[in-house]
Every structure is written in C-alpha cells, then in structure tokens.
Structure 1
C-alpha cells in the first residue's frame, strides 16, 4: 500500500529526533504527517501525598496543595501550546502537509488515544525517544501496533530510516502476522532492488508438491514485481531475532519486515525472545504488522 498519512507520537520532554525522522519520511513520499504531543501525566488532585497533620494545619495544606497542582497544570498547558506552535511552524517551513495536536489524558488512556489516531493513518513511526520512554513507549506501541491493526515502523537509535529501501529482509514463517506485514509493506518490497525472504529453521511443507520452503511467498512477491531470493537459515541454538539480525547485516539490508507476535505484555512481545525483538541488537528500521 502507499503511505499517504503518517502518524507520530512525541512526549513533552522528548527531543526533536523522532519528529525529524517522521518529517523526513513524509517528505520522501509526499505524505501527510499527524503529530500527537503527550504532556506529562497529570497528578491526581485529591489530597497531599504526605501526612499534613490534622485540624487547622490540614485545612490550610490541602487547598494549597490543590492550588499548586492547578498552577502546574496551567504551566504545562502554556508550555505545550508553545511547543505545538513551534513544531507546526517547523513542519510548515518544510512545506509538509501536517497537523499537530495535544491530548491531556490519564496514563491508563494512553493506549486507547494512540490506537484511535493510528486507525486513521497508513503507518505509525516509533522513534528512539519514544522507545526509551518507559511511561509513554509501552502503551503507545500497544495501541498503535497491537490494537489498531495498522503497521508500525520502529526506528531504533542510529537507524537510517527510509521508505524507499534498496534491500529488504523479510522474516517469514508462514504465519498470518508475517503475511500481514508483507501485504502492508508491499509497495516497499515491489520497489526495492533486492528482497531476501529469510526463514529460520523452516519446517518441511506438507502440500504434496515438494515445493521449497518460502517458494509460495516468493512467487507472490514476484507477481507484484519484487526481485526475490529465499534464504533458509539454521538457528544453531540462537534466537530467531539474533539470526535474522545477523543475516540482515550480512546482506546489507536497509530494513527488516516481519510480523509482530505474542502476549499483551510489551516487553515479552518486543524486547524479549523469538519471534520478538530486542532493539538494542539492531540499528535497522523494523517494519512490523500484527
């Protein structure tokens, strides 16, 4: 599919690195960029967090505490409005079609807020700042990747992101998630100079035709104009993620396309073992679909 609408989430205290990445990708393919700025989680304005005594002292302390919270919220609003205006001005200067919004939501609603925005985008960009944010990262990736049904491009620290990759490695295992990832990335794969379909410890096919593992997906991609080769890899006791990472490096791949699997926990699905991924082990962009 073509990417005409790209979504990006940034935190109030993040650098502009993720925005720069998303803006560059939009400029590359002429896409609209939707930016969502998430301010710091609002503190509950209920009662002081410490023991303030009783009687008159407490009667004074509680209103003062709430006043401080309201004052902090007002300062956050002003700061976010200024940041939103700065980002919009910067993107307009790049002649990008864009919109910038801020959502003041409680932490429990972050995933749903991200999911709703991702539903109306062709692709969500998750950059290094968001990946390293333990408060925003997990719910945003949960909402955008695992709950929206839309693809996500993970751009780890140091990765050179492009939506026109020359060489792409496809991690294939004949599961529905891998099929969706290939379908969502079809425009990238069809335009690439080389597409390597890599299978780790593939199981023999029982279709009675004696076809080589990966021949079916290779034929499908070839019909769409992709130039495909199939590599059957042995894990030798290593995780699938480790094997694919090394093979991507060996083949000078610009991007890895693969399905996203696993349980609800973000750490188990992305930062854990196969077929999930450890971003610390690769500097390649990862195109993921659920």
Structure 2
C-alpha cells in the first residue's frame, strides 16, 4: 500500500471521531498519522469611521474607546483559542499514545482567509488527507480545508461521511469513469486500493454520448490498464435516464454493495456542491460511503 503518511485536519471544537477514523486507517496500512488542529474562525475587529479630519469631542473619544474594546475582545478570544488548541492537542496525543502508531500533532492559529493555504502546505507532504464527518459538517472550516487539500496539491482526499465504515482495504470498489484527466488521476492515486480489492467495477454513465477513450468499447481501455496491474475489473455501462451522473453512481454503489467510490473532482464550484450540498449530498446520507477524490 502506497500510503505511508496520512493527514487528518480537525477543528479545536470537533469531536475525536475524525482522528479516531484516521488513526484506524493508519493502523490498517502501517502509515504515519499527522494531525493538524485549527481554531474556529476568529472575531473580526470593527473600525468605526472617524471622518477625514480630526475627531470631534466627545465623539472621537467614544470611537477610540470602541476600538480599544474591540482589541481587548480580540486578545481575550485569542488567549481562549490558544488554550483550547493546547488542551485539544494534549487530548489527541493522549488518545494516539494508546493506538501504538507513529504520529505527530500540530496546531496552527490562522485567520479564516489563510485556512486553505495552511491545509495545502500540510497536504503537500502527505500521501492522503482524510476528511472525517466532523470537519465535513463544519460549514466554516470544511470548505476551505477541502479546497486547499484537494485543488491546490494534486493529492487525493478520502471523504468519510457520518456513519461510514472506511477502510483502505475495501472488498468492492466502484470507479466513476469518464476519460477525463481527473478520473485518471483518481485511479492512479487509488491504484493500491484497487489492486487489493476483490472486485472493481468501472462505471460509465451514458458512455455513447460522451466517451472519448482509445478503444471501440467504452471502458475497455481503463479496464485493461487496471487488469495489467492485477486488479479484478468489470465494466458497467449505465444509462442516466434523465438523472445526474452522481445520482446514478450512488445508486449503483448501493446495488453492487460497494465499500468505496473512486472518482475525479472537476472544479471548485462543483466540489462544493458534492461535499456541502446539492445532489451528491445524497451519497453521504444514503448510503454512507467513503469517497476517494483526486484532481
């Protein structure tokens, strides 16, 4: 298995479930776990306008006091957040010491605008980033972390929705294939997972309408590629019947008892729809399947 370093990003106020999930995956494949703890969004200071000239008394004095009060509130919030981060770090280290695996735990106090960049820097030095249900359902932290880890790194992300039972040794895997470079990268990044699976089903939705592969038979090219690597592959050609590809794939995953879906991620707006609303929210609610994404 190619995953030797796995990143887990969690919020200071999130539960331990995301870390436990990532630790379980690391134990499965003998990987090192890196945990990054980030704080909740900071309070923004307000700066009342005092006009172009010198402030009038007593209005200027009141505005200056308001700014000082804002500063004191920010300092107090910062002090509280740092204390929470330190406590969270100690709690996670205590949790991981009982897991008998290699790990490191770090914190980063950053402003909301820097969350994506902070996550990106950490994900660049990991083979896989695990996004657990706690972070996934955090509307403030989830989107920038996923965007930073996936879109700006070229590294894969494993999304684990609530109720899922993730494993890096799945028995059955469904691959959403459309001959795009993103789907190809997802397959390559998941190659170790696919080759170890008992069954890999490559699913193409309405392939006659959009297939651009290098074989006459849709899906034969990627199936041959995976077979040469030792995967046990079959190809399923699925009609959309007016439904979205995501909905068709999700239903097919249920029908084939898949343990994981592997697919490419195409764009910032579309990924946000997949992870934080829209049609593919159904994938996370019914069924609760891990989603292996790459771009």
TM-score, structure 2 normalization: 0.89
Structure 1 match to 2:153: 148
Secondary structure, aligned partner of 2:92: helix
2-side partners of 1:64 and 1:112: how far apart? 30
Within the candidate set 184, 197, 207, 1:179 is matched to 184
1:239 aligns with one of 226, 239, 244: 244
Q: 5 Å matches for 1:10-159?
A: 10-45=10-45, 47=47, 54=59, 56-159=61-164
* TM-score where L is the length of structure 1: 0.91
The RMSD of aligned alpha carbons is 2.3
CA distance, structure 2, for counterparts of residue 258 and residue 100 of structure 1: 30
Cα distance change of structure 1 residues 277 and 148 upon mapping to structure 2, 3 Å threshold: farther
User: What residue is the counterpart of 1:5 in the other structure?
Assistant: 5
1:166 aligns with 171
2:256 aligned partner: 251
Is the 8 Å Cα contact of residues 11 and 38 (structure 2) preserved in structure 1? yes
Secondary structure of the equivalent of 1:69?
A: helix
Distance apart, 1:22 and its partner CA: 0.6
| Contact 1:151 1:288 survives alignment (8 Å) | yes
Q: Which structure 2 segments of 5+ residues have no match? A: 50-57
Shift of 1:86: 1.2
Deviation of the 1:278 alpha carbon: 5.2
Counterpart secondary structure, 2:263:
strand
2:207 is the alignment partner of 1:202 = yes
Q: Which moved more, 1:71-80 or 1:182-191?
A: 71-80
Is 1:192 matched up with 2:197? Answer: yes
**CA deviation string 1:56-113 (max 9, x = no partner):** 5545444344223212211211121111011012112211211111111111111111
CA distance 1:26–1:54, shift in 2 (3 Å): same
The 1:177/1:36 distance shift into structure 2, 3 A limit, reads same
Shift of 1:265: 6.1
SS in 1 for 2:234: strand
Q: Distance in 2 between matches of 1:48 and 1:206?
A: 58
- Tell me what 2:229 maps to: 224
CA distance 1:245–1:206, change in 2 (3 Å): closer
Q: How many angstroms apart in 1 are the aligned matches of 2:213 and 2:140? A: 47
| C-alpha distance in structure 1 between counterparts of 2:14 and 2:268, whole Å | 28
The gaps in structure 1 that reach 5 residues or longer are none
User: Take 2:61 and 2:91, find their aligned partners in 1: how far apart are those partners?
Assistant: 46
Q: In the comparison of the two structures, how many residue pairs are matched?
A: 285
Residues 260 and 269 in structure 1, CA contact (< 8 A), matched pair in contact too? no
Q: Offset at 1:46?
A: 5.2
